[in-house]
Amino acid sequence: MRVVVAGVTTGLGGRLASYLLADGNTPVGLVLRAGDAERMRAARIEPFLLDTNGSDLDVQLKRAVRGADAVVLAAGTGTGPGSLGAAASAPTAQLCDAAEDCGVRRFVMVSTHLPTARDRDELGDELDAYLAEKRSAEQVVRGRNLDWCVLRPGMLTDDPPLGTVRARPDGVPTVGDELSRGDCAHAIRAVLAQGIKGVWQATAGPTPIEHAFR
């Protein structure tokens, strides 16, 4: 399976790419800097260097996703200074357009969590805009003619993955709900492999990830 990953340079996207490689798939990472492209090649991830300053971003994205089996949007999933920009710059509509035009049916978007008190302090006035941006991106995906899945994780952590999760359709994580980036990446891998559709909450829980979304 050839999977285009937007946000491959993030902790989540990088873990997902590693899992895909381990399964024998081909991850294609969308990157913005030549240095990141070199780093991807060293990790055996196929890079696609985007020029976001150009006027042909739509054309570039179509070139990136042509021949792919799935697209994963994992950009803008963290909180902290600059996160609003990361969420806003994730080209949700353009990626959906490219997928539709190139006949790529599978589309997975990782949405956001409700931040902790510390995250709220760091984001300050940007918090409402950050959350609104992610919800708006969800609506873009949900309105498309794609086999889409929106994954709403709990607060992402760098804790060791457990291989288990609590998944609930149409659920919304609450403050205090967490999920390790490793388990979130594993969950994305599962929904891709199993063709899971719709909106899903994913937080730390007891169910093996392979069975949690069925």
Share of the chain above pLDDT 70, in %: 84
> What are the tens digits of pLDDT across the range 37-52?
999 999 999 999 999 8
Distance CA 82, CA 89 (A): 11
Binned at pLDDT 50, 70 and 90, residue 189 comes out as: very high
> What are the tens digits of pLDDT across the range 132-146?
777 888 999 999 999
Binned at pLDDT 50, 70 and 90, residue 78 comes out as: very low
- Is it the case that residue 107 has pLDDT exceeding 90? yes
Which sign, positive or negative, has the C-alpha torsion 93, 105, 168, 30? negative
**Which distant-in-sequence residues (6+ apart) come within 8 Å of 188 by Cβ?**
16, 72, 74, 108, 110, 151
> What are the tens digits of pLDDT across the range 151-171?
999 888 999 999 999 999 998
Terminal-to-terminal C-alpha distance of the chain:
21
Q: Does domain 2-212 have CATH number 3.30.465.10?
A: no
- Is it the case that residue 84 has pLDDT exceeding 50? no
Confirm if 149 and 107 have CB atoms less than 8 A apart. Answer: yes
- Is it the case that residue 200 has pLDDT exceeding 80? yes
- Is it the case that residue 148 has pLDDT exceeding 50? yes
Distance CA 44, CA 55 (A): 30
Interhelix angle 92-101/127-142, nearest 10 degrees: 10
pLDDT of residue 134: 74
**Which distant-in-sequence residues (6+ apart) come within 8 Å of 26 by Cβ?**
1, 2, 3, 20, 46
Binned at pLDDT 50, 70 and 90, residue 214 comes out as: confident
- Is it the case that residue 80 has pLDDT exceeding 50? no
What distances in angstroms separate CA 89 from CA 16, 83, 93, 141, 161, one per listed residue?
Answer: 20, 10, 11, 15, 28
pLDDT of residue 162: 97
